[in-house]
A and B are shown apart, each in its own frame.
Chain A
Amino acid sequence: MISTGNDIVALSAINAARTNQHKFYSKILSDSETPLYNELSLAGIPFENFVWLLWSIKESAYKFLQRHNAGLVFTPVKFVVEELRLPSAYIIENFDAIAEEGIGFNGYPALNGIVTFGEVKLHSCSLLYDKLISTVVNDIDNLENTCWGIKLISDTTHENQSTEVRQFLIERLKRLYGHDDFRVDKNENGCPILFEGNEETPIPISLSHHENIIGYSFRG
C-alpha cells in the first residue's frame, strides 16, 4: 500500500494534569498499551508525554490508512501500539533547531514501534524532544524511503499553520526533484494530494500542525 502518515504534538500545548487522569487517557490508550510505559518511565519520559506519543503514532497510522479508506473513522483505542523500542542509552534531547529534515531516521534517536488496526500492521518512527513529538508511519519496517520535516513557526493561526506547512513541504520537493511547480490540494476525503502543474503526482504526502510546530512526510 503506497501511503504515508505523520503527526506532530506540541508538548507546550498539552494539558499534563488532564492527560494524567484515567478518564482522559483511557480514551486514547487501550489496556494492553499501558505496560509499554514501564521502559519509557525508566528513561525519564513523563506519563503525559507517553500518552501523546501513542496518540501521535495512532493518528499517523490513521492518516496512512485513511488515504485508501475514505470512510475510516479515527478511534484511538482501536489503533493498538503493540511494540515501542527505545534507542540504547536514550536521553530526551532539546530541539534547538528551527527546522529539521531527513530521509529515514538513521542517526536520529528514534523510537520504533509497531501499531495495528485490526489485521493491518504498520511500523512507526517517532522523535521525542523536549518540546515536541513527531511520528511517521510506514507499512514496512524501513522508513528509508520516507522524507520528513519538522519546523517551528511563530504565527500559530490555523491559516498560517496551513500555509507554512505547505510551503515547507514544497521547498523540500523543489530541492529534491528540481521542479518548481508543485502545489498541494486536498481530495474530497480531506487527504492532502500533490500536484505538479495540473497533474496529480503519485507521491503520497501527509501534513500536520499543532500550535507552533509543523511537519510533513512523503514517500520519496
Chain B
Amino acid sequence: MTRTEILDELKKVIAPYTTNKEMLASINEQTDLIKDLKINSANLVDIIIDAEAKYDIEIDYDSADKMVNVGTCIDVISEKLNQKA
C-alpha cells in the first residue's frame, strides 16, 4: 500500500474518535492525534486495536509509542505491512 492509501484508510480508523471533523477532512502527516484532532488519550488504545484489525498487523508497545501524529502512524503501519509481506 502507498502512504496515500494508508492515509485514506487511517482516516476511517480515526473518524469515530474525533469530534473535529473539519480537521479530519484536511489531515496531513503532521496532524497530531491529541493536540489537533482532540482525540482523548483514552481512545488511543482503540485506534491501535482498530488499526491492527484493519491491516491485520500487530503493533507492539515500542511502535505504539511512536504513533503521535498521522505521519508516524503511517510509518508504523507501513513498516508492519512490509514485515508481513
Contact = CB atoms under 8 A, between A and B. Distances in A.
Interface in A148-203: 157-158, 190
B48 interface: yes
Give the size range of A's interface with the partner: 20 to 34
Q: Which of B35, B40, B48, B49 has the most CB of A within 10 A?
A: B40
A28 B45 contact: yes
Contacts of A24: 45, 49
A75 interface: yes
Given A18-B46, A24-B45, A27-B48, A75 B38 contact: no
B79 to A, nearest CB: 17
Nearest to B66: A73
Contacts of A52: 42
A157 B45 contact: no
A27 B49 contact: yes
Interface string B53-85: 000000001101100000000000000000000
Nearest to A9: B42
A85 interface: no
Interface string B6-44: 000000000000011000000000000001001011100
A77 B61 contact: yes
A75 B67 CA distance: 11
A158 B41 CA distance: 13
Nearest to A15: B46
A59 interface: yes
Q: Which of B42, B52, B61 has the most CB of A within 10 A?
A: B42
Interface in A1-42: 9, 13-15, 18, 23-24, 27-28
A190 B33 CA distance: 13
B65 A75 contact: yes
A103 B64 CA distance: 36
Nearest to B19: A158
Interface of A: 9, 13-15, 18, 23-24, 27-28, 52, 55, 59, 73-78, 157-158, 190, 210
13 contacts: A13-B42, A14-B42, A18-B46, A23-B49, A23-B52, A24-B45, A27-B61, A52-B42, A75-B61, A76-B45, A78-B61, A157-B19, A210-B42
Given A76-B45, A158-B20, 20 more contacts: A9-B42, A13-B42, A14-B42, A15-B46, A23-B49, A23-B52, A24-B45, A27-B48, A27-B49, A27-B64, A28-B45, A52-B42, A55-B42, A73-B65, A74-B41, A75-B64, A78-B61, A158-B19, A158-B38, A190-B35
